[in-house]
Structure 1
Amino acid sequence: MAGMNNSPEHQSRVYRHWAPIYDRVYRGLLRDGHRTTATLAAAAGPDILEVGVGTGLVLPHYPAHCRVTGIDLSEHMIAKAREKVERKGFAHVKALRVMNAQHLDFADDSFDAVCLPFVVTLIPEPERALDECARVLRPGGEIIIASKLGDGRGIQGRIEEAVAPLVHKVGWSSAFRISRIGEWARHRGDFDLLEIRPVFPNGFFKVIRLKQRARS
């Protein structure tokens, strides 16, 4: 939505306030999306990058054989995630780092899967971030995106636009379109959109699988 502040500074301020209560508010609401994201990422391979790890709500859902690296723009959210990893002894979590999704500090071809659970609508330049995800992804790997993704049509589309300023106050966007991700994949030409899976509640959230084609 035009005029909406989605800067890193805005997101950092939002999540500084949300970090202490985020788990209580969102654990149940997002559990199906988190579980689905982790399961699909693990099926693509053991080396996983989670962009927007937040307080670490997805971390319990990865199988033990995985090697998960999590990043987040918010130092406060990363601090909560580190506490959780230490408290619960998540050996499959290899690193948690403060990092901007648009400038990933990883080598090319580092991960089998990159997942973005409920974060893509918050990134100021999501296509740039997806390009970075593609860069660090190994050939044949997958990008898994979970989010509130609308199609902009009919009554639901009008509702999404109407509530966008409200949900923005808690760091979300309701007006981000599925078509935007599809257009990114088509423009690149090296990704296939394999699946759009509705998840709880009643398909309000969706999980998208994008597979990078093997290089010739």
Structure 2
Amino acid sequence: MTTSDTLPDRLRKLKLWMQGRWKGISREARRLDETAVQTAYARWAPYYDMVFRAPLYWGRHAAVKRINALEGHVLEAGIGTGMSLPHYGKHLTVTGIDLSEAMLERARIRSAEMINIAGLICMDASDLSFPDNHFDVTVAMYVMPVVPDPAKVLSELERVTRPGGTVLLVNHFSTDHGPRAVVERWLKRYADRLGWNPEFPKSRVLRHTSMVLEDEETLAPFGLFTLMSFRKAEDPQA
């Protein structure tokens, strides 16, 4: 990335980098470019709430409502600027992670008066540093279609969730029939500009987990998003 890149250019390149589509670039060059990636996030952070608060409201509201009916320690992966934080029940302990320190700084400001926040940590969701079985509930909202390896992220969420605990995902999942499928296939060519993959079937999640899918809830607006609730198997030795 060059210093002359516009914000949209940087965001498109950020998306390409995250999906591993920069062909012919060395591992060292990729590593050196992480600074530019963080710069792109930093430039985007001030506008994030303004752009995404409304379209992501329903999924965020549904997930937090489910979590508030539970107990214990919650991990939110990809917490961003922390729009969900004020809505978690005070009976919960909440930890949030995100790849962007700039996003987390805004989340820390938002949660400054909250006493149930255990930490807001800069961390890769596909390589969590938490021990096994550490959280009662884990949640990732709008994360899976924008990470390079969704299966690895789901595996990590499952690993750090206690036996019998809950893993929640909120995402747009594509369909394979009807007018919406046609539109999604057409939009796929613009995935890099959109910042998400319109053609992301549920199978990309379901085939990579042994957890039990307990419930699905179709969400507004227009049924474009789905909340999936998984239960991690109980430890047979417990």
Note whether the superposition's TM-score is higher than 0.5.
yes
Match of 1:54 in 2: 80
Q: Is residue 2:12 matched to residue 1:7? A: no
Alignment partner, residue 166 of structure 1: 190
Task: State the number of aligned residues.
Answer: 207
Task: Give CA deviations for 1:163-192 in whole Å, capped at 9, x if unaligned.
Answer: 23435335322211112212123xxx3x11
Indicate the larger mover: 168-177 or 28-37.
168-177
The answer on whether the counterparts of 2:144 and 2:171 sit within 8 Å (CA) in structure 1 is yes
Aligned AA (1:113): V
The alpha-carbon distance between structure 1 residues 77 and 152, as it changes in their structure 2 partners (threshold 3 A), is: farther
Residue 210 of structure 1: aligned partner: 230
Corresponding residue of 1:196: 216
Structure 2 runs not aligned, ≥5 long: 1-14, 20-33
Cα distance in 1, alignment partners of residues 74 and 84 from structure 2? 12
**Structure 1 counterpart SS, 2:154:** helix
Report which structure shows greater RCO (CA 8 Å, sep ≥6). 1
Match of 1:72 in 2: 98
Find the counterpart in structure 1 of residue 118 from structure 2: 94
Counterpart of 2:123 in structure 1: which amino acid?
A: M
- Sequence identity (%): 31
* 8 A Cα contact 1:108 1:137, kept in partner: yes
1: CA distance, partners of 2:121 / 2:94: 11
Per the alignment, in what secondary structure is the counterpart of residue 97 of structure 2?
Answer: strand
Match among 50, 53, 56 for residue 30 of structure 1: 56
SS of the aligned residue for 2:16 comes to coil
Unaligned runs of 5+ in 1: none
- Give distance in 1, aligned partners of 2:193 and 2:84: 23
- Give 1:63's match in structure 2, choosing from 89, 94, 99: 89
2:166 paired residue among 115, 133, 142: 142
> CA separation in 2, counterparts of 1:114 and 1:23?
22
Q: Which residue of 2 aligns with 1:84?
A: 110
Partner SS state of residue 108, structure 1: coil
SS in 2 for 1:28: coil
Which residue among 135, 139, 151 is the counterpart of 1:127? 151
Structure 2 CA distance for aligned equivalents of residues 166 and 20 of structure 1: 24
TM-score, normalized by length of structure 2?
Answer: 0.80
1:107 aligns with 2:131: yes
| Structure 1 counterpart SS, 2:162 | strand
* Distance (Å, rounded) in 1 between the aligned partners of 2:39 and 2:70: 34
Distance 1:178 1:148, change over 3 A: same
Inter-partner Cα distance in structure 1 for 2:189 and 2:41: 17
SS at match of 1:53: coil
| RMSD of aligned Cα (Å) | 2.0
TM-score by length of 1: 0.88
C-alpha deviation, 1:125, in angstroms: 0.6
* Runs of 4+ with >6 A deviation: none
Shift of 1:147: 1.2
